[in-house]
Amino acid sequence: MHVFIAALHVLGSGVVMASVILAVVAGLSRTTGKESLALYKHAGTIGLYGLFWQLITGLHLLSEEVEALSKNPVFWIKMALFALASLIAYGVIMKKVLAAERGAHRDAKIPGMPFWLFVLLAIITAVVVLGVVLEHR
């Protein structure tokens, strides 16, 4: 059962990472057509579902290793950063959707977008580095 739940957890992680990548693509995109607008809307929502999926499966996995992980600050920082990346990705995607719905289809410059894309990339880099640190502890 542990392997099955772990596989589901990794699946949720993939969904969240896909939403983060899509947020970066959406943030860098200069145009937003109707097709990509629909994709962004659905992908942002699916990314949030992936985060909740990870939370549920992660709590189950945590319950099996509570002694090892409950006192590990690196683990908790990594989890918080991963959740934060998911929420920022959702925000970036929704900013792009709202800008497109307001009619800014061409060269839509959204205030603060470069900053949030940089934050997203920094968080994902930190999550990967912390994952390596956790593996080698």
Distance CA 21, CA 27 (A): 10
Are 49 and 94 in contact, with CB atoms under 8 Å apart?
no
Residue range 13-36, pLDDT digits in tens = 888 888 888 888 877 777 667 777
Are 90 and 19 in contact, with CB atoms under 8 Å apart?
yes
The pLDDT of residue 122 is 92
Note if the pTM is more than 0.75: yes
What six digits make up the tokens of 92? 């970036």
pLDDT at 4 over 60: yes
* Reported confidence tier of residue 105, pLDDT bands at 50, 70, 90: low
